[in-house]
Structure 1
Amino acid sequence: MKRFLSMFIMILVISSLALVGCSQGSSSSSGEKEKDSVETGDEAASSGPITINPDISGDQKILSKGPHGEEAVSAKTLKLSEEDIAKIKEGKYTAALVMHYAGNDWATAQINGLKATFKRMGIKVVAVTDAQFKAEKQVSDIETVLAKKPDLIVGIPVDPVSTADAFKKASDAGVKVVFMDNTPSGLEAGKDYVSVVSADNYGNGVAAADIMAEKLGKKGKVGVIFHDADYFVTKQRTEAFEATIKEKYPDIEIAARGGIAVPNDGEKVASGMLTKNPDLDGLFVVWDVPAEGALAAVRTAGKDVQITTIDLGTNVALEIASDGIIKGLGAQLPYDQGIAEAILGGYALLGKEAPAYVAVPALTVTKENVLDAWKLVYHKEAPESIQGAAK
């Protein structure tokens, strides 16, 4: 009988793993999308205190400021003790994740980091929503989520103005709210929300500028493709890139600028920029998905143009590993950002004071360290395609 039970359990485990492996590109009714390139690691089964990855370098200065000018507190300082975890488990709390968009590697890693950490804390995730960059949908998503009466909401507003009332309603209902990257207009830390967590976006913009300068021999003309929206984290990236080029590399000219409203605008904006400025040597693109579009535009134009960006997505990682047109980037650490957000949710449930703005250190990624960077960003080895290209 015992042998039969052992075999039965093993079959269940193997079946579960097979289902996970088949989840790439699928979506649930809550709007969550998962890709097996960034599946949840084994953190949910670990023991001891909860912190972000101790292998993340914490000696560099965090350059970003918060959405209201707050000084950053490093996510490496956050911690839940085993005693804290036990107290949180006693509460049998629930949480909901309210995403602006859940269709890329960054969002998937955030969700996975949150889910794994909440699992360790005994917190049940009752909803994951995807607003698809539509403010009106996110407002509706929040209404749906509130009907489930969660104790915590971790979210990122699509638009700081249009979603403010909906997030304020959640706060007024007694829900503890932690934000990713941005905050709604008019809401106050410590009163309407617990904290906001982001990457060191300014630091990542500096990294993208330094890589660009190195690849261009510190001279030439570049174009900048920025996010044409009221998003403080993407503004910081562009500001950092441009300020670093102007201050450190006087022989590099920012010769063109163009804005994107949505990720898919990258190819169109880059194509127009290259047509009007045929002598461009480089392009900075504000994050990896529009950078993929810019890559397509450069290939179509047949230009010798170098690209740098932010975020280590699968496709840009493959291009970097192949020593292609995208030469490097400043990477966020979204899985660990999710861990930090979950820890701050725990602080709120325990009545512990939380810093208003927390940042995860920046990470410079080039061909030389792309495999190590992938493991640090996603808590697992890089896909075989990227490993093969790097060799």
Structure 2
Amino acid sequence: MAKKVTIKDIADMAGVSIATVSHVINRTRYVSPDLVEKIENIIIETGYHKKIEEKERRLKVGRQSEIVAVIPNVESTIYRDMVGYLKKYVSIQGYQFYIAITDNDIKEEAQVLEGLIQNKKTAGIIHVPVSDVAADYKKLIESGIPFVCMERNILGDGIDSVEFRDREAIFKGTDYLLECGHKNILFLRESLKSTTRDERTRGFLLALEEHGINTNDANISDINIESGADNCILEIQKAMRRYMPTAIMAGGNRITLYLMKTMRDRGIECPEEISVVGFGDEGWSELTYPPLTILKRDVEGLSRRAVNMLFEKINTGHVIEQDYYADVELIIRKSTRMLDNGPFGEEAATPESIVITKEEKSRLRAGNFRVAISFHYTGTSWAELHEKGIRDELEQYGIDIISVTDAHFDASLQNAQLEGIRLQKPDAVIAIPADDKETKEQFRELAKVSKLVFLSNVPENMEKNSYVCCVSVNEIENGVNVGRMMGEYCKGKHVEAGFIIHGAVFYGTRARDEAAEKIISEQYKNIDIKAIRGFGEIENAYQVCKDMITENPQIKVLYVSWDRPALLAIKALKEMHREDIAIFTTDLDYKIAQYMESGIVKGLSTQRPYEQGRTAAHVVAKSLLSNDVPKYVGVQPYVVDAKQLGRAWKDIFHEGMPEEIK
């Protein structure tokens, strides 16, 4: 007996997905004419068309045979997707499926519903209502035709609905922005009144309340999405100028699209200047630069439940009293950043906020300024990229670099080098302290003759007015990124983890390590942190790792503060034949990239050393002419996973990834 051909067989023969074949059969989404012809020919050649025809013959015809979805439009992705899913599940029940469009117009909707009520073939209605007032639907309610509200609701007794958890969704998005340190958040919502809009607004206000922000100061702007793209963009521009937010919560797919267009047209950097959380039912949200942090709705789940609820009413006549809510997931990508604070609690400025005018550039070129660089260690690509960024930035202003020193992590050597630099009397010095305590006095002396800009860290108890600025990656965000990657990797299972942290008192690494531990402890209850061990000297990380795993062999996930100790931890794990332990760390380099390719390192968040070097040099240039320089500048870190390692390498190192890593 010949094997029956399935839709999967058709998809395999055509070299496409099952979904594409389904769209061709059901005409639910655009597919290129050439591909349609190819798939239809295969369907006829295999005889699969007979199965389709038989299914169509089984569909109910005559009285009460039609299910109609009454929706606002088919332009919005959510409604296009709903139509496809509703058709799928209605057809399974043997009914014919149709749609009717209201254009979000109450009069148009009334005419549509009047026609459906009069039509004897109408077996049931799935309705996205324009209004939430029960009186507007008196005829529909009294008609006795089974109906279910979907995505929006009508307020009243005995009216059944399936909705998204809109209040919880906007709460999630807003809460995440508040946790990132944003206080001035703009909420863009649709101007059309509906239960959906009300629920989203409640979620936004509730998040503000829980973070102690007076809701009277809430920044909410209504956008009329039916007024056309140009008008929406103009309304968003006005709202952004009025509220000057550091973050925006976009309350819908089209609002998200118009917001991103507005930011692009105005040259606003995301997330450097403004962080964005949007709705991500649109496929393009992952393809934008940067990829969007989104609220993703379970449209199929909502559609399936709406059909099931409707047919329960059709078949039993029972009214289902309990509303159903479909989930909305917060997917964190790269359109948001955490606001950072400096050593003295000062809010971080962005690199883009420091502007050097044409007139200032001319003065710099004429100034014959001289700069020295004091590194704690230069034997890494990290230091090389810092130096390259510094040189590239200073070169355009004609500023000379008179010396570059390497302390080899030796505080005494750096003190001697700083004394030599002091005698040279450079106009400014860019430095990374080798030790927080032992270099403090020498830096104080240097500050008397030169402007000081620190990279990554400021010596302990260094007076705020004795240096110009500290430029650092946002270490709190760095730690949060790694912690979140660990959490997502372990999702859905109980996992025991270990933390190997920097034992020395160093502001940047301490902030990073604490942030990683905090997010795991607070947001990923399925992860049990069994051990936290510190290393003072980097070489100690090897033994720390060995001891930790020997005492806690059940550990399956390991956080290591940064790449160099992580490499030593990996060495220890390999010797112990424990390559089953997943490593998460910070900072990308050649060896770490190899281990990421081989699967030992599962994820990392990295500094952007070239950008940090350029930013430090930019701050120096500005400080040579002006005192209007922020005390702390934060550079956003970069999240790396194995799937996009090649792109990350190019973005961080500004060159293609070496062939031997691939």
TM-score of the aligned structures, taking structure 1 as reference length: 0.81
Distance in 1 between the 2:355 and 2:659 partners?
Answer: 34
Q: What runs of 5+ residues in structure 2 fail to find an aligned partner?
A: 1-267, 276-335
1:126-170 deviation digits (Å, cap 9, x = unpaired): 111111112111111101112222111000112222111111111
For residue 518 of structure 2, give the secondary structure of its aligned residue in structure 1: helix
Query: What CA distance in whole angstroms lies between the structure 2 residues aligned with 1:270 and 1:56?
Result: 39
Distance 1:278 1:185 in 2: 38
| CA offsets 1:153-206 (integer angstroms, 9 cap, x no match) | 000112222111111111112x011001111233334x3111001001111111
Choose 119-128 or 285-294, whichever is displaced more: 119-128
For residue 532 of structure 2, give the secondary structure of its aligned residue in structure 1. Answer: strand
Measure, in 1, the Cα distance between the counterparts of 2:443 and 2:655.
Answer: 34
Partner of 1:158: 434
2:503 is matched with which residue?
A: 228
State the Cα distance separating 1:56 from its structure 2 match. 7.9
Structure 2 counterpart of 1:142, from 410, 413, 418: 418
Residue equivalent to 1:255: 530
User: Which segments of 5 or more consecutive residues in structure 1 lack a partner in the other structure?
Assistant: 1-53
Structure-1 separation of matches of 2:367 and 2:443:
23
Matches within 5 A, 1:281-292: 281-292=556-567
* Cα separation, 2, equivalents of 1:231 and 1:89: 37
Say if 1:205 and 1:238, in contact at 8 Å, map to a contact too.
yes
| 1:206 partner amino acid | V
Contact 1:323 1:367 survives alignment (8 Å): no
Give the whole-Å Cα distance in 2 for the aligned partners of 1:55 and 1:373: 19
Higher relative contact order (CA 8 A, sep 6+): 1
1:216 maps to which residue? 490
Contact conserved, 1:224 with 1:284, CA < 8 A, in 2? yes
Matched, 1:78 2:347: no
Q: CA deviation at 1:93?
A: 1.1
Verify the 8 A CA contact 1:56 1:376 in the aligned structure 2: no
1:16 alignment partner in structure 2: none
State the identity %.
33
Question: Is 1:120 matched up with 2:380?
Answer: no
Do residues 171 (structure 1) and 171 (structure 2) align?
no
The CA distance in 1 between the partners of 2:355 and 2:545, in whole Å, is 43
For structure 1, which segment, 289-298 or 262-271, has the greater mean C-alpha deviation from structure 2 after superposition? 262-271
For 1:1-391, list aligned pairs within 5 A: 57-58=271-272, 59=275, 60-173=336-449, 175-189=450-464, 191-217=465-491, 219-303=494-578, 304-320=580-596, 322-386=597-661, 388=662
Q: Is the 8 A contact 2:499 2:560 kept in 1?
A: yes
CA distance in 2, matches of 1:343, 1:179: 13
Q: Secondary structure at the match of 1:330?
A: strand
Offset at residue 230 of structure 1 (A): 1.4
Structure 1 SS opposite 2:530: strand
Q: Deviations over 1:63-116 (max 9, x none)?
A: 432112221112232333343222111111111111112122221111111111
8 Å CA contact retained: 1:160, 1:183: yes
Q: Could you tell me which amino acid in structure 2 is paired with residue 102 of structure 1?
A: T
RMSD of equivalent CA atoms: 1.7
1:323 Cα deviation from its structure 2 partner = 4.2
One-letter amino acid of the structure 1 residue matched with residue 638 of structure 2: L
The structure whose Rg is larger is 2
Structure 1 runs (4+) deviating above 6 angstroms are none
Query: In structure 1, how many angstroms separate the alpha carbons of the residues matched to 2:377 and 2:270?
Result: 26
Using the TM superposition, name which of 96-105 and 81-90 deviates more. 81-90
CA distance in structure 2 between the partners assigned to 1:107 and 1:332 by the alignment: 11
What is the CA–CA distance in structure 2 between the aligned matches of 1:83 and 1:379, rounded to whole Å?
30
Aligned-partner SS, 1:66: coil
CA distance in 2, matches of 1:83, 1:362: 32
